[in-house]
Amino acid sequence: MAGAPARYLVFFQYFGTRYSGVMETKSDQALVGVQNYLERAAEQLKPSAPIKFHISSRTDAGVHALANAAHLDIQRAPGKAAFTGQQLVQGLNHHLRPEPIRILSAQRVSSTFHARFCALSRTYIYRLLLGCAHHSQIPVFERDLCWAPAGGGLEFWEVKVKSRSFLYRQVRRMVGALVAVGQGRLAPAQVRELLELRDPRALPPHAMAPPAGLFLTRVEYSPADLASPSAPAEEELCELS
């Protein structure tokens, strides 16, 4: 008789340019999600039950991640030992080639751990390249990895934002509003008015930063929630707030 499945927390990264976002989509679309490729790679590990990646943080089409997180349960055939974290990393990365998606780490966690609900914070950075008069001036290795609004001297700026959770496109709206104020297309008083409206649709379309400059850089968890499956924390469910 098969034993209980092993639950793992994995951290992974990807360039989001060629994907519809991180979340799974129908496989017949022109662009599919990063999750499609993760689960396709997991199928090659020959589990005895389908594997589902439960992803911590949604990212949209064109948005990148230096470190997103997910948990997954792996049921192996009777008599086969659970994968070690290193075995899982090597196996998934082998089957993810040549996609620009890589598993950074994997570790066993308790059966009550949830990658989304247990997260204490998410950190994003938005990369701006100032001073480009034309798109062709963006260094070739930086294309699709930053936003180059006109104005200023040629230099990189990074906007760093950390919170437990974010609203849809919140960071891109924040950065876009800052750039619009700097360029004189929005007045500071207008930003206050937009905040008081509490309606994201009120932000002018030109004040939305494009996805290419946005990177999810870190998802943070409590050490207690990362306790090994044999630890007392096994029976404690993460707060679902």
Q: Catalytic residues, which ones?
A: 60
Task: Find the angle CA(233)-CA(10)-CA(240) to the nearest 5 degrees.
Answer: 50
| Residue 45: other Cβ atoms inside 10 A | 16
Number of neighbours of residue 103 by Cβ within 10 angstroms: 21
Spatial CB neighbours of 80, under 8 Å, sequence gap ≥ 6:
none
**Token reading at 226:** 């990362």
Query: Which tokens hold the place of 49?
Result: 């039950």
Select from 99, 157, 151, 101 the least CA-distant residue to 126.
157
DSSP code per residue over 108-149 = EE-TT--TTTT--EEEEEEEEEET-SSGGGS-GGGTTSSB--
> Taking a C-beta distance cutoff of 8 angstroms, is the pair 237, 112 a contact?
yes
